[in-house]
Amino acid sequence: MVLLHIDPSRTVGKRDPMIYGHFIEHFHRQIYGGIYDPGNPLSDAEGFRIDVIKAMQRIKTPVLRWPGGCYVSASHWKDGVGKERRPHFDKAWRVEEPNTFGTDEYIAFCRKVGCAPYICTNAGTGSAEEMSDWVEYCNLPNEGPWAKLRADNGHKDPFKVKYWSIGNENYGSWEMGAKSAEEWGRLVTESAKMMKRVDPSIELSAAALADLDWNINLLKGSGKNLSWISLHGYWDGINQTNDYANYEQSMVYTNTLDSQVAKVRGLLAAMDFGNRIRIAFDEWNLRGWYHPNVDAGLSLDEYIKPRDLNDENQRYTMADAVFTACFLSMVNRNCDIVGMANYAPVVNTRGCIYTYPKGIVLRPTYHVFDMYVNELGDTVLDTYAEAGQKLSLTDKQGKATETPALDLLATLDAQGNVVLAAINKDPAKAQDFTIDWGSSPSPSGYSIHTLSGTSTESYNDAGHDDAVPLMPTKAGYKAPDSIKLPPHSVNVIKFAK
């Protein structure tokens, strides 16, 4: 049994709401037929899906990254503004992009949701000037041709976009316009300089990874102009195979959730940026997106039609939900250095919301966001857990390993009450834990809100809701009472003083 030590006076810090952010890309049905569906009775007069907006509002989406993703590295924002849009062939995903959803539509959607925009720029085939022109279009009142164009397009007032990312995965051979570490450092230095000259108030991020050479080249020239460093993570890399890790294999991935954060934290501290540059984990999901044969497929059936398989709802089970909860607990624990995270994507593909012509499905991962966003406290406590069972598991490569059965995160809400995120990774057995409150008085009771489903394979679909949270239940409590967590479950426990 786990013994969790809690002292409400020991805090890590306050989490930034932006750790519950999201991401949307011009990939398959994420934009068109996803958040933007003109002509559908469920869409508003501007073509935005009202049901999606309401669902994103419920989980208080704080920030939405766009337009990519790999898509951005060969796209040009100027083709997607004004009355005359210029379609282009998207070399990342090998489809024609109509550009009917561009900057103006994106800003309108963010305003409807109530979230901050976070624009990722083309640092692949684009230039520093093109990036800074985009800042001008969005943020200057009327100086320069691009600000004037925005006004001519019907938007007199600036959009005031605060968050900007220079590039996306430009370290990878798969990215259009991939760069060496030296090339990247130089491009980001010049791009950041020009973008900040247009609007010194913006906060800039740049594509990075947990690599010493890459980050030294990035930070030594541009660190003074960056507020963020961007990390990405997809643990079950199945973009060519769609060979899903099963529940137990997915739990193995929770052992390495913070590895990139720990390495980049150390590097930022060593280069004396630890107090001014934070981590934006601005693309993450358990599973990579399925897009086979994008390099070599000759027919649409080879490289586009298979992408429909990303939208099989039965694939998104309690494995995804439990992993998602573990990731969110990890970024909460690292709230002193991780200030933003963006689930990739928010709609369709591997997203937490699925759209179809007559409605939406809230996948199990959506309910995890709902519980964390709307029930956990803002202040993260520095807790210590001892003992507890470890699960014996086999990873996807057939290697035996272990993982702790429980993941426990403690927070304080605005009223000073302790609220726990309590995750039981055990696929089959309930697990107990007790709490040592130290010198603090023991609470008199608690309520528990549980997401577990009937099995590890529980999923949600149209007319099939098998992985939705149970109604909260209340219980009396007196330390050292134990608390039991159902198998494969995500729980939020609120203690009463």
- Hey, which residues are catalytic here? 169, 283
Q: What is the layout of strands, in order, in the sheet containing 278-287? A: 203-206, 163-166, 116-121, 63-66, 21-23, 338-343, 278-287, 228-236
Residues 6+ apart with CB under 8 A from 494: 375, 413, 417, 418, 419, 446, 447, 448, 449
- The SS3 call for residue 356 is strand
C-alpha separations of 57 from 7, 208, 369 in Å: 33, 30, 12
Token pair in block for residue 330: 């990890």
Give me the phi and psi of 436, to 5 degrees please.
-100, 115
- Among 244, 195, 188, residue whose Cα is nearest residue 217: 188
State the alpha helices, DSSP H only, in 355-490.
364-375
- The SS3 call for residue 269 is helix
Residue pair 477/434 in contact (Cβ under 8 Å)? The answer is no
d(CA 198, CA 234): 34
Q: Tell me the β-bridge partners of 90.
A: 95
Query: Do strands 116-121 and 163-166 pair parallel, antiparallel, or not at all (unpaired)?
Result: parallel
